[in-house]
């Protein structure tokens, strides 16, 4: 990639990230290092920083963030189909209903966000992401605000529905990276470093010994004193 510059000063130097096609890749590192900025750049969204380099082969990209950003006055079905309506295209309501049903929200299509739980809202946001049918998906800490059980359930749903797509997962959670990703990169002021993950299919079980060992190794890598 190159260098990430913010206000004329380097935020990240020597960026060289490989996100394999059809695989999940985690971007990890301290807050403020530029992970979300890189995710937005990959999705073609405006950022305050400047990338001195290039992003190759991303294709059509959609992004799902930590906040569900649902329209409070629209019901679940309308929120899922908002992208098509904004583009002036006829919304595929049948597919939207099918996605909501597959995500466990059958019968809740007419509910507005205020009448949905946090986990339900994130499922609507996931359905909105899936209906775009993009080959590349950026997930920017999409499950970090959820309780542990709901987070694990959402991870499983995302892994199943995004199988075969190129996914960039921005996360601070070593367990999430160990469960969901095929590759991982540590971003810090020294540049980028590849992290080791299990070579087994995803999503990996929460109590898988390899997952637990990897979680510990990733925690050590993320500690400020890590070599």
Predicted confidence (pLDDT) per residue in 9-29, tens digit: 666 676 777 888 999 999 998
Cβ contacts of 158 within 8 Å, gap of 6 or more: 126, 139, 142, 143, 180
User: What is the band of 6 on the pLDDT scale with cuts at 50, 70, 90?
Assistant: low
Decide which of 38 and 170 is more confident: 170
Q: Does domain 1-60+135-227 have CATH number 3.40.50.300?
A: yes
Share of the chain above pLDDT 90, in %: 60
For residue 32, pLDDT over 90 is answered with no
CB of 20 within 8 A of CB of 164?
Answer: no
CB of 192 within 8 A of CB of 36?
Answer: no
Q: What is the mean pLDDT of the chain?
A: 88
Q: Which H/E stretch holds residue 25?
A: strand 24-28
Q: Which pLDDT belongs to residue 33? A: 79
pLDDT of 61-94, one tens digit each? 898 988 899 999 999 999 999 999 999 999 999 9
Least confident range from 67-71, 149-153, 186-190: namely: 186-190
For residue 219, pLDDT over 80 is answered with yes
Decide which of 29 and 43 is more confident: 29
Q: Which pLDDT belongs to residue 111? A: 96
Q: What are the φ/ψ torsions at residue 48 (nearest 5 degrees)? A: -75, -25
For residue 208, pLDDT over 90 is answered with yes
CB of 125 within 8 A of CB of 70?
Answer: yes
| Distance separating alpha carbons of residues 168 and 210, to the nearest angstrom | 22
DSSP string of 137-161? EEEESTTTTS-HHHHHHHHHHHHHH
Q: How many Cα atoms are found within 13 Å in the side-chain-facing hemisphere of 22?
A: 2
Q: Which pLDDT belongs to residue 19? A: 85
User: What is the band of 227 on the pLDDT scale with cuts at 50, 70, 90?
Assistant: very low
pTM comes to 0.88
Domain boundaries, the chain: 1-60+135-227, 72-133
User: What is the band of 188 on the pLDDT scale with cuts at 50, 70, 90?
Assistant: confident
Q: Which pLDDT belongs to residue 66? A: 83
For residue 128, pLDDT over 60 is answered with yes
């Amino acid at each position: 990639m190159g260098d990430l510059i913010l206000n004329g000063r380097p935020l990240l130097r020597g960026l060289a990230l490989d996100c394999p096609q059809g695989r999940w890749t985690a971007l990890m590192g301290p807050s403020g290092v530029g992970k979300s900025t890189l995710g937005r750049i990959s999705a073609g969204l405006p950022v305050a920083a400047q990338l001195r380099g290039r992003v190759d082969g991303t294709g059509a990209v959609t992004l799902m963030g930590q906040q569900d950003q649902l329209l409070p006055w629209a019901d679940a079905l309308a929120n899922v189909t908002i992208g098509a309506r904004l583009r002036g295209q006829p919304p595929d309501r049948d597919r939207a209903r099918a996605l909501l049903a597959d995500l466990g929200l059958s019968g809740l299509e007419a509910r507005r966000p205020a009448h949905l739980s946090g986990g339900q809202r994130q499922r609507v946001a996931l359905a909105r992401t899936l209906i775009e049918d993009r080959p590349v998906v950026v997930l920017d800490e999409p499950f970090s605000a959820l309780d542990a059980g709901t987070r694990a359930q959402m991870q499983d749903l995302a892994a199943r529905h995004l199988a075969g797509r190129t996914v960039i997962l921005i996360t601070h959670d070593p367990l999430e990276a160990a469960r969901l990703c095929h590759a991982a990169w540590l971003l810090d002021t020294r540049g980028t470093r590849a992290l080791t993950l299990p070579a087994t299919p995803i999503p990996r079980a929460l109590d898988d010994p390899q997952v637990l060992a990897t979680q510990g190794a990733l925690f050590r890598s993320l500690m400020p004193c890590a070599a």
